[in-house]
Amino acid sequence: MSNRAQKLLADIKNKNARAIGKAISIVENETELCDDLLIGLSESEMPQYLVLGITGNPGAGKSTLTDKIIAHYRKQNQRIGIIAIDPTSPISGGAILGDRIRMMQHATDSDVVIRSMATRGRLGGLCSCAGATVRIMAASGCNPIIIETVGVGQSEIDIVSLADISLLVSAPGLGDDIQAMKAGLLEVADLLVINKADLPGATALFRDLQMLAREKEREITKTIASTGEGVDKLIKQIELLEKDYNESSYILKKREASKKKEIIDWSLEMVRAKLEKNIEHFALTNSDPRLQAKDFIKQHLKDMQ
């Protein structure tokens, strides 16, 4: 490992904000120090940490709820990591929305590490380096690490694979079709949260979710994030679930599956970059693109090894 990587890792462990930001950028852009940095991020040497996923449809109040959850943990003097998954700019490829706009009151807190990340067009909502970003934040002492997603609906299954515990946030009046949601996040989320529980339709939404919650042995919690009502109860449920998951080794098994998926994600990113470079020199024919793709892969398969 290079001296520069060792220095960067030491600064991360010393909670240096600039070093944390630089390390995440190195991984995102796969620059010179990337491999050395990732080698140094040994998960076995990290302090214990929880990855909490917060997802749900636009308008459910995820950002407001996240803000209140951050405030709760900060009252307990816990250092928090926030990964805000945002839409991707078609021009720059970077995140469009600024997390510091959404979480302005925490932006100047040195023990709240906030990072926007772009989806880069992935339907799953997470770019491949999100896992490495979690480990960088954990190495700096963050616990929990919260991933709040862009809120594009059922395509956010990726959040479930990366998070130890996932919250699916719903709200009355959004026109959610419960039957349509059953095939997606609603079935695999660990906790169901009805936010804006003071609005008309909250009781009906609770009733609709209740049957599925019983079937999947899920808890339903009502919150009013704008006032903080119900957040303490939600945190308590998260803590109980974390204890149960740790005792059953569920989190360990989930992280092993997540790491395998992360390997696939990185592999696809690397292969895609090589294919995009080589396609410029590929001779097009009049046959169907799918058939040409087979020839293209055969020609360049050895180059990707």
DSSP characters over 163-186: -SEEEEEE-TTS---HHHHTTTHH
Place of tokens 């679930």: 241
pLDDT of residue 72: 94
Nearest one of 95, 87, 69, 32 to 235, comparing CA atoms: 69
DSSP character string of 190-203: SEEEE-STTSTTHH
Query: Going edge to edge, which strands form the sheet with 80-86?
Result: 112-118, 80-86, 145-148, 51-56, 165-170, 191-194, 219-222
Residue pair 23/139 in contact (Cβ under 8 Å)? The answer is no
- Identify the segments of the chain with pLDDT beneath 70: 43-44, 86-105, 107, 119-127, 150-160, 175-187, 301-305
pLDDT of residue 265: 80
Q: What pLDDT is recorded for position 161?
A: 77
Q: What's the pLDDT at 251?
A: 92
Alpha-carbon distance 221 to 237, whole Å?
9
Tell me the pLDDT tens digit for each residue of 31-44.
Answer: 888 989 988 887 66
Region of 82 (left: φ > 0; alpha: ψ -120 to 50; beta: rest) is beta
**The predicted structure's pLDDT at residue 95:** 41
